[in-house]
Every structure is written in C-alpha cells, then in structure tokens.
Amino acid sequence: MKTIAKAKLPLVLELLAKEYKVLVPAKFEGVTRFTPYQQDVELALEENVIMPPKDIFFPQTEKMYKFKAKDKSLEIEEYPLEDAMQIIFGIRSCDMKSIDCLDQVFLTKSYVDPYYKNKRDRSILVALSCIEPMDSCFCTSMGIDPQKAVGADIQAYDLGDKIGFEAISDVGKEILEKISSLLTEEEVTLPAVGEFNLNADVEGVPEKLKEMFDHPIWDDISRKCLNCSACAYVCPTCHCFDIANEVRGEDGVKIRCWDCCMFDEYTMMAGGHQPRPGKKERVRNRFLHKLRYFPERYDMLLCTGCGRCVVKCPVNMDITSIIRQIKNA
C-alpha cells in the first residue's frame, strides 16, 4: 500500500489543492467541518467532524434560480452550474454511507435532482478509516465497516502515525498517480478497530415498526424531546428541505433550505390544519422515517451510526436506546 507520514499529509493536500478545490476536515470558527484547504487550515483528523459532509452536496441554503416578475411577464434566470472538480478528503465510513443514502434520494427512483447531481458528479471522495471510535459511535451496528467505506474513489487508512492510500475507482487511481511522488510503497497490516461503546441491534426493527404506529411507546419516548432540529441539522442523512421565494419588489430568488420534521411549518397545511400537532407525532415520524419508511423505499436504514445526534441533542434523545425500546416493546 502507498503510505505517507501523517505529519507530511499537508504536502499531499497542498499538491492536490493546486489543481482542485480540496475540502478537508478542519476546525473553522469553533466548529469542525469540511473546509477548503489552505495553508493555515487547522486540520481535524483525530475525531470525526461535527458538521457532516452533507452540506457540500446539499447546502443548508441553496439558490435555485432568479426570477423577475413584471406586469404579466416572468423572466427566469438560472445560475450557471459550476464544473470545477473538487476533492473531499477524510470522509469517515459513516458519512460515506450517508452520501449513499442521499444519492438514493436525489438521484434514483425516476427523479434526478440537478443541483445535487452537479455537485456530486464533480466530487472525488477520499474516505478515511477509523481505528479509535468515539464514545458516541455505533456505525458497526448499522452494518458499516469503519475501515472500508462504500462509494469512495480512494480509501485512505489511518495507520497510526501514517496514512495509507488505496485507489478504488479510476478517478481515484488518477489522483493517486498525481501524488505518487510523495508516497512510499510498503507492506502494511491494518490496525484493529477499537471497542465500541454504543451499539444497537436493528435486526427486524423495520418490520416490527410496521405494527407500531399506534404503540404507546411513542408517548414515552417523545416526552423529553424539545422539538428543535439540532439532531436533523447535524445528521448526515436527514435531507428534508423547503422551497421558498425571497422576493424584493419585482425580483426574486427561489431558494431551497433545510427543513425539519420537528417544526410547526413543516406539516402545516393550507387552511391551517396540522396533522402532526405535537411532540409525539413529530418524534414518531422522525424515527419511523429513519428506521422504517426509508428502508421500505430504498432498502437501507437512514442512520449511519455517526452518533452526532446523541452528542448534540440537548436532552440526550439517544437513537440507540430508542431502538432498544422498540425491540423490547
């Protein structure tokens, strides 16, 4: 395998940054997230980033097109699509899986979302393996191998003080070729992955949930929920959005923004009816979507075990414990 000392990793990124826009996990304004590589960037490779790579492909606010409405005429102006290739370095297996989930939503089942597709098509993904799971990680419970990501162009391996690279796709090979002068070829054995603190047994949960829509368990689970969207907005797979107009006089912009099933306006209907009025209905929907509806439609869970929601929830709504409660119900 081709390897490089961790301390020399910036050289690789530097070289790639000459040709591509390179996004790296880094601490930016107090939060770890994927940030364009610059010389003084504060790389964060110890732990997974707080903000998942979701917003690279599906930004929190995305301008779709501009319009001008005057009298009875309407002009629409599209924003030019970018075509420069970008490399995203250091995506963990859980987040790679989340990109797979997003691909299902935005690219399959007869509708292809052009905004997502554009960003997705010009991205080269470099996955990075994990050896030391964080306290909140449970990816293995979700059927994910922390050392082997799905859909990567290059799989990078954390080898302690070194990083190893393995090309998976043709584009990946090309990229590795470009940095090969910096790498050394050597035999490596992959270090063992550490113990996981959290786990969840999802076996049979999607099937069981089919009968559980009216189960009293939802009353109990939802009571402490605050109905904020911290969980959904740090979630790598949550992908609900709302389309809104921003109009100033004759000019307007159509924007697409993240939305969350916890909000009042999310399900508010014309005429004021609210089919999901309270905590119970909203919390139930969130977990049914992740554990039942999504598997039914796409044959995969909408949770990758990254543990972000477990850490960031102000009242510690823990999906692993909810899965346990569903199992025991």
Among the listed residues 57, 157, 233, 294, the single contact to other proteins using CB under 8 A: 233
Reduced DSSP (H G I as helix, E B as strand, rest coil) percent helix, strand, coil of the chain, to 5: 35, 25, 40
- What is the DSSP pairing of strand 86-91 with strand 21-28? parallel
For Cα atoms 29, 32, 34, give the angle at the middle one, nearest 5 degrees: 100
Residues β-bridged to residue 164: 3, 157
Contact criterion met (CB below 8 Å) for 208 and 230: no
Minimal distance, residue 63 CB to other proteins, in Å = 9
Among the listed residues 8, 68, 109, 223, the single contact to other proteins using CB under 8 A: 223
Query: Which lies closer to other proteins via its Cβ, residue 297 or residue 312?
Result: 312
Q: Is 127 helix (H, G, I), strand (E, B) or coil?
A: strand
Among the listed residues 48, 147, 155, 229, the single contact to other proteins using CB under 8 A: 229
Phi-psi region of 186 (alpha: psi -120 to 50; beta: other; left: phi over 0): beta
Indicate whether 258 belongs to the interface with other proteins (CB under 8 A): yes
Among the listed residues 123, 141, 304, 320, the single contact to other proteins using CB under 8 A: 320
Minimal distance, residue 98 CB to other proteins, in Å = 17
Among the listed residues 56, 234, 291, 326, the single contact to other proteins using CB under 8 A: 234
Task: Please state, as a whole number, how many other Cβ atoms lie within 10 Å of the Cβ of residue 212.
Answer: 18
Query: Which lies closer to other proteins via its Cβ, residue 61 or residue 180?
Result: 61
User: Binding string, 108-127, against other proteins, x = CB under 8 A?
Assistant: --------------------
What is the size of the binding site for other proteins (CB under 8 A)? Answer: 43
Query: Which lies closer to other proteins via its Cβ, residue 202 or residue 260?
Result: 260
Indicate whether 199 belongs to the interface with other proteins (CB under 8 A): no
How far CA 128 is from CA of 49, 99, 112, 232, in Å, comes to: 12, 14, 28, 24
Query: Which lies closer to other proteins via its Cβ, residue 190 or residue 255?
Result: 255
Query: Which lies closer to other proteins via its Cβ, residue 182 or residue 268?
Result: 268
Q: Which residues contact 30 (CB under 8 A, 6 or more apart)?
A: none
Longest dimension (CA), the chain: 71
Amino acid letter for position 16: L
User: Binding string, 20-49, against other proteins, x = CB under 8 A?
Assistant: ---------xxx------------------
d(CA 4, CA 161): 9
d(CA 195, CA 180): 34
- Give the footprint of other proteins on this chain (CB under 8 A): 29-31, 50, 60-61, 135-136, 198, 220, 223-224, 226-230, 232-234, 242, 244, 246, 248, 253, 255, 257-260, 263-265, 268, 279, 310, 312, 314-316, 318, 320-321
